[in-house]
Amino acid sequence: MTYAEEKLSEAIFSCIAIGEGDARDRLSKSFKYFLHTLTEEHVTRDHWKRFKKVKNRLIKNGPFLMNDKIIVGAFENGKVGMKNKTASRLIEELIIIYRELAN
C-alpha cells in the first residue's frame, strides 16, 4: 500500500464513511486529519490534478483570521457556504481516486 492509498483509505473509512456530521463536516475532517499531508510526489500527475481540485474547492475561503490570528482553519472554514451536494461530489472524486490507486 502506498502512502497516498493509506491516507485516502484512512480518510474514507475513518471520516467519510463513519464520521459524524453531514458530507461537508466529513470532508473537512478527512483533510484536517489525514489528507493534508499528501503532495504531488505521492500520486500520478493526473491524480494530483484531480486531488488538488478537491482540496482547492475545500480551502477556497481560506482560514478565518482575527487580528492576524487563525480563528478557524482553512479546511473547517471551507465548508462555509458549500452545499452538501457539492461536498458529496468532492467525496465521490476522492473515492474514485482511491479506487484507481488501489488497483
Mean pLDDT confidence for 39-67? 89
User: At residue 71, does pLDDT exceed 90?
Assistant: no
**Mean residue pLDDT across the chain:** 89
Task: Give yes or no for a contact between 16 and 94, defined as CB atoms under 8 angstroms apart.
Answer: yes
Q: What is the pLDDT of residue 69?
A: 84
Percent of the chain whose predicted confidence (pLDDT) is above 70: 100
Mean pLDDT confidence for 77-86? 84
DSSP bridge partners of 66: 69
Please report, for the chain, the start and end positions of each structural domain, with discontinuous segments joined by +.
Answer: 3-102
* Backbone dihedral angles phi then psi of residue 44, each to the nearest 5 degrees: -70, 165
**Predicted confidence band at 75 (pLDDT cuts at 50, 70, 90)?**
confident
User: At residue 15, does pLDDT exceed 80?
Assistant: yes
DSSP bridge partners of 72: 64
